[in-house]
Amino acid sequence: MTLWVNLLGMGLIMLIVWWFWLSRPRAQQTVGDAPVTVLVADGVYTPSRIEARAGQPLMLRFLRKDPSPCAEKVIFEKLNVSAELPVGKPYQLRLPPLVPGEYVFTCEMRMYRGSLVVK
């Protein structure tokens, strides 16, 4: 029994490391001609991984449903861009043309996390 518990513990740790740090979700949506709407609700941005083309201005729409103050701001730290999201109304966030790379966007406390992958 003890052996099994220990093995199970080790397996769990490996699973945590793999799931949260090593693997990444696939892009759920690509910014094309129409802006992507990011839903801010229940502790997650949906979609949480967005792809976009490099070198052209982007428009992201944020729709915040979560009234808790945690969800109030969305911050693109690398870009020094931040916005305050109104509850229940779409907010259009305009981004300048970007060079390829991954741009993480989070709430103030980094509990909401998403990434914009520019290719």
Partner 1 sequence: MRNPSHQSAQGHDPIRLSIAGMSCAGCVASVETALRAVPGVCEATVNLVERTAAVSGEVDSVELVAAVRAAGYDAAELRGVEDEEEKQAVESAHYRRLVRKAVAAGIVGAPLLVGDLLGWLPSVSSGDGRWFWLAAGLATLAAMAYSAGHIFTAAWKAFKVHNANMDTLIALGTGAAWLYSMAVVLWPEVVPSLAQHAYFEAAAVIIALVNFGAALEMRARGRTSQAIRRLIGLQPKTARVVRNGEERDIPLAEVGLDDSVRVRPGERIPVDGELIEGQSSVDESMLTGEAMPVMKQTGDQVVGGTINLTGSFLFQAKRIGRDTVLAGIVEMVRRAQASKPSIARLADRVAAVFVPSILIISVITFVAWYDFGPAPAVSFAIVTAMTVLIIACPCALGLATPISIMVGVGKAAEHGILIRNGEALQQAARLTTVVVDKTGTVTEGRPAVTRIVCLRDNDENGVLQLAASVEAGSEHPLAAAVLAAARVRDLPLSPLEGFEAVTGRGVAAHVQGKRVLFGNRQLMDERGVAVSAADAQMDALAREAATPMYLAVDGMLVGLIAVADPLKADARAAITRMRALGLRVVMITGDHRLTAEAVARQVGITDVIAQVLPQDKAARVAELQANGAVVAMVGDGVNDAPALAQADVGYAIGTGTDIAIESADVALMSGSLHGVADAIAVSQATLRNIKQNLFGAFIYNIVGIPVAAGVLYPLFGVLLNPMIAGAAMALSSVTVVSNANRLRWLKVRGVAA
Interface with partner 1 (CB under 8 A): 2, 5-6, 9, 12-13, 16-17, 19-21, 23-25, 34-35, 42-44, 46, 48-49, 59, 63, 65, 67-70, 73, 75, 77, 80, 82-84, 86-90, 92, 94, 108-113
The distance of closest approach from Cβ of residue 107 to partner 1 in the complex, given in angstroms and rounded to an integer, is: 8
| CA atoms of 101 and 74, how far apart (whole Å) | 19
Q: What six digits make up the tokens of 85?
A: 């999201």
Closest C-alpha among 104, 82, 106 to residue 94:
82
Choose between 52 and 107: whose C-beta lies nearer to partner 1.
107
The distance of closest approach from Cβ of residue 56 to partner 1 in the complex, given in angstroms and rounded to an integer, is: 13
The distance of closest approach from Cβ of residue 25 to partner 1 in the complex, given in angstroms and rounded to an integer, is: 5
Choose between 64 and 98: whose C-beta lies nearer to partner 1.
64
What distances in angstroms separate CA 71 from CA 33, 108, 114, 117, one per listed residue? 27, 8, 13, 21
The distance of closest approach from Cβ of residue 54 to partner 1 in the complex, given in angstroms and rounded to an integer, is: 20
Choose between 78 and 119: whose C-beta lies nearer to partner 1.
78
Choose between 40 and 118: whose C-beta lies nearer to partner 1.
40
Residue 104: alpha-carbon gap to chain centroid:
6
Helix (H, G, I), strand (E, B) or coil at 33: coil
User: Where on the phi/psi map is residue 90: left (φ > 0), alpha (ψ -120 to 50), or beta?
Assistant: beta
